[in-house]
Amino acid sequence: MKNILRLIIVLFFAFFIQMQAISKDVTITVISDAHIKSDKKDNTMTPSIAKLLKAIEQTNIDSSDYVIFLGDNVQNADRVDTAMFSKIIKKLNKPYYTVIGNRDISKTRGMDKKEYFRIVNKFSSNKTSKMPCYKRADDLIFIFLSGVNETFPTYKGYYKAYELEFLDKTLDKFKDKKAIIFQHFPVIPPCEDEMRQTYKPEEYIDILNRHSNVLAVVSGHYHRENVIEDKNKVKHISVGALSQTGEYEQIKIYDNKDGTYSITATILSVQ
């Protein structure tokens, strides 16, 4: 009887591990802080547009499964530039998702979240239409958060109670799946910068500490590349600014087939 009970326990844990496993390695290209700004006077190619076009050209021929834009996709909350950004990313030949940054929306400019996604999804095949939200991607769950104050634009991110509740419930709902969180504002900063620091990050971190299915939190905003692993082995990946350095990143997730995962972040360049 004891041997049968022991076998049942072993089979249960084997099944649980299998439920959380991803069926194949996944490659994600992440592009942050493109800061698209068009030349409305002379209608000439600007450096920010040239860099984004090149990054997309390179991504279309690499091994990426998905592409994520981490916010500050335009220099200012501007309808023309948002439409320009949208038309450029439509050239991608693989699924892509956009996250909102502090420069993308501003109610004082008539560009709230709803208007932003209306324009982006009119001119592209972007797969997000609101924030926060989640999407299934192979055997992973992608979670997209905002943290943007659309009424009073600021460099400081703030994940309000409803976003944190959404994150907590989504992680609980998909506790048998591995999750990656994409957002503009980091909760563990890649460097010291008081002006960009997220407000009350400890509330967010408390949620991460309560769940065991988060593989990584991927952010932009600081214009700095860095990877920090927290006490729960969650990787906090900070992506640099495409507009400044011409760099973006490719994240690869490897299933080690033993209940663990390896994650690498490689810096790529359009230069």
Domain boundaries, the chain: 2-269
Rounded CA separation 28/240 (Å)? 15
DSSP 154: -
Span 208-216, mean pLDDT?
97
Neighbours of 130 (CB within 10 A): 11
> Could you say which architecture CATH assigns to the domain 2-269?
4-Layer Sandwich (3.60)
Q: Give the type of residue at 150.
A: E
- Digit-coded pLDDT (tens) for 56-98: 999 999 999 999 999 999 999 999 999 999 999 999 999 999 9
pTM of the model as a whole: 0.90
- Residue 139: Cβ-neighbour burial (10 angstroms; 0-12, 13-18, 19+): middle
Alpha carbons 150 and 34: distance in angstroms, whole number: 19
As a whole number of angstroms, the distance between CA 57 and CA 64 comes to 12
Distance CA 101, CA 147 (A): 8
Mean pLDDT of 169-194: 95
Taking residues 47-55, report their average pLDDT. Answer: 96
At residue 11, the pLDDT reads 42
Which candidate, 217, 244, 250, 271, places its Cα nearest to that of 75?
Answer: 244
Residue 265 has pLDDT above 50, yes or no: yes
For the purposes of burial, counting CB atoms within 10 Å of the CB of 14, is it exposed (0-12), middle (13-18) or buried (19 or more)? Answer: exposed
